[in-house]
Structure 1
Amino acid sequence: MTSPTSFLMLYFVCGFSIALAATPNITTDQSALLALKAHISFDPQNHLTKNWSSTNTSVCNWAGVICGSKHLRVKALNLSYMGLVGTIPPHIGNLSFLVSLSIRNNSFHGSLPNELSHLTRLKIFNFGFNEFIGTIPPSLSNISSLQVISLGYNQLSGTIPSSIFKISSLQKISLGANKLSGPMSSIFFNISSLQNIELGENMLYGGLSTHMFDHLPNLQYLSICCNQLSGELPKIGNLTMLTNLNLGENKFEGMFSQLSTSNM
């Protein structure tokens, strides 16, 4: 039979566990940003070195940071074109109210942390023109609100997770100028919201699905140039929104059929 003391110990252990589960707040956001700052090794314009401080100013007044007025949480982070060198720590996933995250045109390197998938409110994800390596985390597809994924001009390798193309809100995906490989047939374009697809300058191979354009009624731009694609060209269908189509420097055969676009 369990003694009363055992019950008492269990009560205090459970109580202690609950006490550790603090609700995220602006202090949580501040800690996440300071962790990011600690992973930056070069800040030529001193944007973060001088401005991001735990004592001098409110986090909502830090360079590149925008807070929402309703919840007073970090809503947007834009560190683009700052010449920063560094890596992205897993703490970035604690910015749980983040809607827009842009670090375009810097020298961030290393791999993309899986904790990015914790940013469930994220709509804009722009890490283009950096030096990231490794595989695109399939867990990004868990961010159901994503509208823009921009990872072009990095050093990413491996296959493109097909699950990304199941995000129903996705409007733009830019993965060009990386080292991505794998068969195009493994990618299923089935998102009516997609307007812009950039997969050029990679190492993708194989053929295209005959009906790959059937579920892309709002497609405006498509580039899959400079890969190793081959086979028959698909039926282009009635893409009335299409204005730019780049399939060059591949090994396709034949001609497009059912070409009916208003702006080409």
Structure 2
Amino acid sequence: MEKFHNLFPLGLLVLLCFLSASLAMFPTNITTDQSSLLALRAHIAVDPLQILAKNWSVGSSVCDWIGVSCGSRHHRVTALNISSMGLTGIIPPQLGNLSFLVSLDMSANNFHGELPHEFVGLRRLKLLNLSVNNLEGEFPHWIGSFPQLRRLSLRNNSFTGLIPSSISNLSKLEIINLNNNHLQGNIPTGIFNISSLQIIVLANNSLSGVLPSDMCYHLPGLIRLSLSFNKLYGQLPSSNLAQCSELRVLSLSFNEFGGSIPKEIGALKKLEELFLGSNYLEARKRQGIYAVDKNMVLMDKYNTMRDW
């Protein structure tokens, strides 16, 4: 009997550890989602339309709040769209607890500060749009933590530093737009290995280095490549350029490219816009394409295409 009593505390401890581990496997629910969104509301300093202040109330279901969508299966928050509401504030770490979130759009507001590392918990994300805000700090090194991500737009912010090589982990990415930040360094070559990419916009930064000559080898569906207003140099890519057969926009102007314009550009039958001006390209005619001097923009048919 004494031996039994001595073992009982150990058995109880094992049981408690098992229960704790079981609960840890299912730590969140709709109440967690509500708390996360209320934390966001609490970090909003300016809400000119009073949408969050009045509508996001504990007296109603979180799934009925403006800008919030829930899934029918698990009854969890799957989408948050509070774009263009004139909101000013910071993004709290609690937002990373929305573990069922598939779409997050907070674009065209006045959010500032850095992105919280807790965003790595949003592993179901397919769309992340935080463009046209005042976000700052180092470009998040954990950006490659979203295995399902299709669309990434952080354009028109004030991110600094390098684009991390981990971005190549976004193997399902279709659109990446980092236009108009303060990014530096080379473009990770892994970006050109994401075969699902259709739009790459990295213009208006301070990116440097050379482009891989065979960058189109893994980008058969690329529609738009916009790298203008950077510090890129070297020869324009030529090898396998014809494999970008869907390309409609090629914008490489205002860089430091040299040499001649590759004749392979003439094989891009769907090309609608071509910008090569303000580089150091040789001025000569080739395959129906005219090189220009340092002060001009080279373009084919002009059609306005909306940035995502």
Q: TM-score range by the shorter chain?
A: over 0.9
- The aligned residue for residue 84 of structure 2 is 81
TM-score under structure 1 length normalisation: 0.93
- The aligned residue for residue 248 of structure 1 is 253
Identity of aligned residues (%): 46
- The aligned residue for residue 239 of structure 1 is 244
> Structure 2 CA distance, aligned partners of 1:57 and 1:48?
13
Cα deviation, 1:208-235, whole Å, max 9, x if unaligned, reads 1111121110000111000011111111
SS at match of 1:258: helix
> Structure 2 CA distance, aligned partners of 1:11 and 1:184?
51
Q: List runs of 5+ in structure 2 lacking aligned partners.
A: 272-308
- Which of 50, 53, 62 is matched with 2:54 structurally? 50
> Structure 1 CA distance, aligned partners of 2:219 and 2:104?
26
SS at match of 2:233: strand
Q: Is the 8 A contact 1:185 1:206 kept in 2?
A: no
* Residue 224 of structure 1 pairs with residue 230 of structure 2: no
> Structure 2 CA distance, aligned partners of 1:257 and 1:187?
26
- The aligned residue for residue 67 of structure 1 is 70
Q: Is the 8 A contact 1:52 1:63 kept in 2?
A: yes
State the Cα distance separating 1:138 from its structure 2 match.
2.6
State the Cα distance separating 1:188 from its structure 2 match.
4.1
Change (3 A) 1:261 1:151: same
- The aligned residue for residue 40 of structure 1 is 44
- The aligned residue for residue 109 of structure 2 is 106
- The aligned residue for residue 214 of structure 2 is 211
* Residue 120 of structure 1 pairs with residue 126 of structure 2: no
- Which of 264, 267, 278 is matched with 1:258 structurally? 264
Q: List runs of 5+ in structure 1 lacking aligned partners.
A: none
Runs of 4+ in 1 over 6 A off after TM superposition: none
State the Cα distance separating 1:58 from its structure 2 match.
0.6
State the Cα distance separating 1:247 from its structure 2 match.
0.4
State the Cα distance separating 1:6 from its structure 2 match.
5.0
Cα deviation, 1:149-188, whole Å, max 9, x if unaligned, reads 0000000000001221332210000001000001236554
Moved more, 183-192 or 169-178: 183-192
- Which of 168, 172, 177 is matched with 1:174 structurally? 177
Moved more, 97-106 or 22-31: 22-31
Change (3 A) 1:3 1:49: same
State the Cα distance separating 1:127 from its structure 2 match.
0.2
> Structure 2 CA distance, aligned partners of 1:78 and 1:188?
27
Change (3 A) 1:257 1:165: farther
Change (3 A) 1:180 1:28: same
SS at match of 2:120: helix
- The aligned residue for residue 293 of structure 2 is none
What is the Cα-based RMSD across aligned positions, in Å?
2.0
SS at match of 1:189: helix
Cα deviation, 1:180-216, whole Å, max 9, x if unaligned, reads 0012365541011100000000010121111112111
SS at match of 1:176: coil
State the Cα distance separating 1:238 from its structure 2 match.
2.7
- The aligned residue for residue 7 of structure 1 is 10
Cα deviation, 1:23-57, whole Å, max 9, x if unaligned, reads 42111110111111111111111010001111x21
SS at match of 1:28: helix
Change (3 A) 1:188 1:172: closer
Q: Is the 8 A contact 1:185 1:208 kept in 2?
A: no
Structure whose CA Rg is larger: 2
- The aligned residue for residue 277 of structure 2 is none
Q: Is the 8 A contact 1:188 1:212 kept in 2?
A: no
> Structure 2 CA distance, aligned partners of 1:199 and 1:188?
11
State the Cα distance separating 1:237 from its structure 2 match.
2.5
Q: Point out which structure has higher relative CO (alpha carbons under 8 A, 6+ apart).
A: 1
Q: Is the 8 A contact 1:214 1:237 kept in 2?
A: no
Moved more, 6-15 or 253-262: 6-15
TM-score under structure 2 length normalisation: 0.80
Count of residues in correspondence between the two structures = 263
